[in-house]
């Protein structure tokens, strides 16, 4: 299977000791100390968590040296099992260059991230989602509210490019690819949590 342009999938992203440190620090402590912001998730607000973010950031820069040319602007911790709307990561901030998703806990079933503008072989797909999202992107709109497209994705996710959440798996997105619209499926069984980070030009 071909990986679409602008997507990097990295298993065992952090060394085991570092991953366990992040997992234990965030999932056992930070659910009480992260604060909601903009409806996106929970953001860091204490020194201990900032140290964890620094650790992830250093590993990210080794995996993707171009990150050194950008500034880490946003860090969000998510621990929710609901679906994520169909969007491109330029939705909240137009200057976002790179996004990273680091999964901490993996569900038993569901929770996949789907890139519906690509088929399961990583080739450009031809479907209603592609046409709708490309049209919105040209207009500078990066969130698609058409529920019929979400229904289409959920029914056809096995034929679209997707990645299931696995503990210590990282996904890096280069947001200059206009086709990297994505949708996060709801968790069917179990629990999903992750750290999401965004880099942009100052």
Tens digit of pLDDT for each residue in 39-97? 344 444 556 667 778 889 999 999 999 999 999 888 887 777 788 899 999 987 888 99
pLDDT of the residue at 55: 86
pLDDT of the residue at 201: 83
Domain made up of 7-200: CATH architecture:
Sandwich (2.60)
Query: How does pLDDT run across 148-194, given as a tens digit for each residue?
Result: 999 999 999 999 999 999 999 999 999 999 999 999 999 999 888 88
pLDDT of the residue at 34: 43
Report strand pairing: 84-87 vs 182-184: antiparallel
165 within 8 A of 102, measured Cβ to Cβ: no
Low-confidence winner among 23-32, 80-89, 129-138, 189-198 (lowest mean pLDDT):
23-32
Q: Is residue 10 pLDDT above 50, yes or no?
A: yes
DSSP letter assigned to residue 70: S
Packed helices 16-25 and 47-63: angle between N→C axes, nearest 10 degrees? 140
This prediction has a pTM of: 0.89
Q: Binning pLDDT at 50, 70 and 90, where does residue 33 land?
A: very low
The rounded distance, in Å, linking the Cα atoms of 168 and 164 is 12
pLDDT of the residue at 41: 44
């Amino acid at each position: 299977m071909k990986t679409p342009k602008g997507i990097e999938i990295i298993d065992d992203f952090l060394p085991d000791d570092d991953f366990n440190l992040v997992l234990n620090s965030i999932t056992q402590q930070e659910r009480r100390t992260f604060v909601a912001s903009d409806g996106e998730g929970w953001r860091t607000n204490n020194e201990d968590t900032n140290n964890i973010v620094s650790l992830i950031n250093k590993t990210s820069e080794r995996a993707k040296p171009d990150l050194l040319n950008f500034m880490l602007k946003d860090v969000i911790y998510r621990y929710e099992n609901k679906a994520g709307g169909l969007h491109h990561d330029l939705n909240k901030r137009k200057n976002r260059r790179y996004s990273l998703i680091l999964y901490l806990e993996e569900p038993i079933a569901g929770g996949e991230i789907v890139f519906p503008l690509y088929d399961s072989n990583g080739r450009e797909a031809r479907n209603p989602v592609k046409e709708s999202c490309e049209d919105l992107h040209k207009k500078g709109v990066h969130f698609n509210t058409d529920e019929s497209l979400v229904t289409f994705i959920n029914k056809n996710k096995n034929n679209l490019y997707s990645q299931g959440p696995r503990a210590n798996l990282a996904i890096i997105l280069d947001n200059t690819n206009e086709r990297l619209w994505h949708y996060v499926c709801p968790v069917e069984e179990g629990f999903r949590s992750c750290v999401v980070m965004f880099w942009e030009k100052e």
